[in-house]
Chain A
């Protein structure tokens, strides 16, 4: 059996951790390879003893981490080395990076150490290509996934949209500040906005929502399907979003998503979701009003599956280890 070591330096609850749980636990992923998650020191991933046929980095690339990645490449020079880019995208760069040329240099240096770089969305891959960050033949797209079974088990909501949900960390990235402001200007007393999550911006968001009893903060839930079950539709007014797992889960649960047109969300609009082309109160108020007053958009739940993720990994493993694996098995036989 092929053994893949997935390197992480951060095991706090979040999209990457949930994705790794999926890779480890999904029965069909287990047919492709034996997936192990290795927690490594942030700037010294090579220090960990790794015994595997292939190494996949899920680490965030930084200047400080670059020597560690070089050491990783040197120590495992014979193994296929793959990087999955969870953190960076065009929207991230726009919102967070002052000196873009320098940042692009960092990514080029880091990505060059890997045999493959896996983008989490076609939009992110397009950005990598446009900026010349990765050689075209080393670039792959595999969307991330989580266990969707609890979401697909939910019944699709019926009737008009009454409860709009938002799921994610309370941070600038998610744009929940704009969502609350936009929601407040809708007069309908029967609408609800439920924000599921926790984070540094909680106090700020609560202040924005103060005095509007329609806006609820049920807190973080470790079982996201409970959040989707409580909502008729989901809003993702994100400022950047390399992929956006919430949209996949919401669609698997049959919930339509109002989404910013950024990064990976551009890929996900195709399932019947509604892109909102401006991050402004006015545009979001309009979009929510249309969603709640008109007929609910039809979501193609059959498109929200783990299949692209499983197929992507099967293809990648075959590309990198197909022949080698045959030889290795022959030698051990």
Chain B
């Protein structure tokens, strides 16, 4: 490990990821911007994760081990250990394009008001092959309402933040004795959106994107839809928390955000072949805010149609429909 303070830190939370973390770390070590450290937080893995990381043998990688605290808890430990002025996050099954860190560091240095810099993402499958799908979010003029409704940051491996912006949202629950929290460890899902929203509702740091699909975000299809109801409950708990921070804002924007959240979960249900759940979520989306849904008519129509077809005709019909529609993902 070098004694010099690196400009940037990449935090990699790792829990039982021996299969994928090697490729993740290789993509990080190949960054064209080279003045960085990687902090891998082994969050209580009981597979060979640690051995894989150690075998990388690169002095820029530091490993911190802790008993399992969840994704937010692993990221927080990484932030706490980070020495860089810029702190990025890469989940241990995702990949960074080699120019990603350079793009975000340049963006943050040129724009002192920006606290969080993100990029679009290319979706890859279990074998790291492009799925032909991408997240191409809005990049400029991002308001708190945009983040709440459509989360342009997109996934947990897209953001690089300024240390000062993270400092502004640090907090510490009464029972926490060892270090601050940045992400709220009480949430096991939606912890990203909660953190980004807290940044936007309690500080005046701006959130802005850079062009390019600089993150390669792994989507393993066919996941169970059983978690969808719980994921929705967690999202509502996040909304309840935010409504204390900014009651007027949440009252004004929650219906639209809720519609998009239901639509997103409907698409998840569709891809896991659960027609009944997809239909339930689609109905809930329309009940929450038709006006919000009609702002993106094509995506809303395909989701609604797919949910209906899936519920009526089963998964095979959907696969054919998806090929015809040639949609963009998530």
Contact = CB atoms under 8 A, between A and B. Distances in A.
Contacts of A95: 201-202, 246, 249
Given A90-B203, A94-B203, A177 B174 contact: no
Contacts of B161: none
B55 to A, nearest CB: 40
A277 B172 contact: yes
Contacts of B201: 94-95
A131 B204 contact: yes
Contacts of A93: 204
Given A101-B206, A104-B113, A278 B248 contact: no
Contact of B247 (A94, A100, A177, A278): A177
Contact of A239 (B144, B145, B174, B245): B245
B26 interface: no
Contacts of A131: 113, 204
B230 interface: no
Contacts of A177: 244, 247
A239 B168 CA distance: 14
A292 interface: no
Given A100-B113, A287-B174, A279 B244 contact: yes
A239 B206 CA distance: 19
Interface string B192-223: 00000000111110100000000000000000
A298 interface: no
- Most chain A beta-carbon contacts within 10 A, residue among B112, B170, B246: B246
Interface in A278-297: 278-283, 286-287, 290
A279 B201 CA distance: 12
A19 interface: no
Nearest to A284: B244
A39 to B, nearest CB: 31
B204 A90 contact: yes
- Most chain A beta-carbon contacts within 10 A, residue among B144, B204, B206: B204
Interface residues of A, number: 30
A281 B204 contact: no
Interface in A118-149: 127, 130-132
A166 interface: no
Contact of B204 (A127, A178, A239, A282): A127
A283 B248 CA distance: 21
A172 B247 contact: yes
B200 A172 contact: no
Contacts of B202: 91, 94-95, 262, 279
A98 interface: yes
Given A90-B203, A94-B201, A286 B247 contact: no
Interface string A91-111: 101110111110010000000
- Most chain B beta-carbon contacts within 10 A, residue among A130, A132, A178: A130
A127 B46 CA distance: 45
B143 interface: yes
Contacts of A98: 143-145
Contacts of B200: 94
Nearest to A93: B204
11 contacts: A90-B168, A95-B201, A104-B113, A130-B164, A177-B247, A178-B244, A262-B202, A280-B244, A282-B173, A283-B173, A286-B173
Interface of B: 112-113, 143-145, 164, 168, 170-174, 200-204, 206, 241, 244-249
The 3 closest A-B pairs by CB, nearest first: A277-B171, A286-B174, A93-B204
